[in-house]
Amino acid sequence: MLVQVCVTLLTTALLAASACYTESPPEQRWWAWGNVVICAGLALTNMPSLPVVVDNILGYGVIGFGIALVLRGLRVHFSSTLSWRTVAVITAIALLVPAYYTLVTPSLRARLCFSGFYFAILNWMCAATIARHGRLRVTGISVAGFSVLGVGLLLRGMHMLLHPDPADSASSLVMGLSTLAIPLAQICIAFGLIMMVSWRYSERLRRLSTLDALTGALNRAGLEIQGKRVGLRALRGGRSLAVIMIDVDYFKVINDSHGHPVGDEVLRHLARLLKMELRPHDLMARFGGEEFVLVLDDVNLAAAINVAERLRARIEREMVELDKLSVRYTASMGVVCSDEHGYDLIRLISAGDAAMYEAKRAGRNRVVGA
């Protein structure tokens, strides 16, 4: 019991410390507060000198409230929530049933059985929330921790249900194993929750390092990483790989005449139009200031030229509006295919760039296939 209490306090301190900085995500604060409340509940249930209402009733309600806060934090982490009404219901059940077996039909055995079964179910709800929404490679340790903690509590409840004398159960093998499993599970849960937040931050950093902040398209680094994968996949499958280079005509004139905010809106508008044309396995990247590149898998030169013509005509028809100002713009495009230039993405982009500048020299607002 001393080891269990110490582990509970240490894991709670770890979660609280990880949540005590300005930009910590809200779920970390819910987890930290939940563990603090659970610690308080455990303290209340292990102080027989306190009034029976506090020791046998309020303590269980506090533990239930703490687990509900942890569950709410898990829901928040996965872009959902747990209503306060549900939190209140979870807490009320943890209060009322022990109250019944304390004041109406006094039974230590029944109260301990209920607490084991009920808190096991709540921990399994936490495990199910993570398993349903998270990647097991990242969240597996948390799922295992909540599951093992639930099993340990269930074993305690079952043992109290089947054992004729609860006073002797502390020395049994089942109680010993559950007492060992619970602190180990708490350690897994604490580190697993921190790993989940760390992975979320690493994913955000990865996205920031590979995406263009203005348009949401891939930047050059992202294009290099994902473009190699797409090219290798097309090469292995024996499929054509097409590249479309796109450049906004007279973009400097737009900036000089209407200001950079309008120019930025033109780029965002173009990115939205291009995304609408893409399939899930195609790529779009902002290659330069006003220059974009599309990488189309399993598309030959003729089909890619048709795609580019469709895009060019749509861009010409569209109107960009910002602050009661309407602007039209056009784009020149160069199209190349792996059938003529191979699967090396750098070579394809270079050939597509040459075709695009040929379109500009030919009068702009047109498509040239290399």
pLDDT of residue 168: 54
Closest by alpha carbon to 160, among 94, 121, 109, 111?
109
Q: What does the DSSP 8-state code read for residue 352?
A: H
Q: 2, 72, 60, 6: which is closest to 34 by C-alpha?
A: 72
Q: What is the pLDDT of residue 1?
A: 67
pLDDT of residue 62: 94
216: three-class secondary structure by DSSP:
coil
**Core vs surface per residue 6-39: b (16+ CB within 10 A) or e:** ebbeebbebbbebbeeeeeeebbbbbbbbbbbbb
Q: How far apart are CA 12 and CA 316, in angstroms?
A: 60
Q: What size, in residues, is the chain?
A: 370
**Both structure tokens of 334:** 């160069």
pLDDT recorded at residue 172: 63
- What letter represents residue 91's amino acid? T
64 touches 97 (CB < 8 A)? no
pTM above 0.75, yes or no: no
For residue 290, indicate whether it is catalytic: yes
Catalytic residue among 290, 291, 316, 358: 290
SS3 215: coil
- Per-residue pLDDT tens, the chain, 370 aa: give them: 677 777 878 888 888 887 777 677 888 888 889 988 988 888 888 788 888 888 889 999 999 999 999 999 999 998 888 999 999 999 999 999 999 999 999 988 888 889 989 999 999 999 999 998 877 888 889 999 999 999 988 888 887 777 655 555 444 676 677 777 778 888 888 888 888 888 888 888 887 888 888 998 999 889 988 888 999 999 999 999 999 999 999 999 999 988 899 999 999 999 999 999 888 889 999 998 899 999 999 999 999 999 999 999 999 999 998 888 889 999 999 999 999 889 999 999 999 999 999 999 999 999 999 8
Straight-line distance from the first to the last Cα atom of the chain, in angstroms, rounded to the nearest whole number: 76
pLDDT for 245 equals: 96
Distance CA 312, CA 309 (A): 5
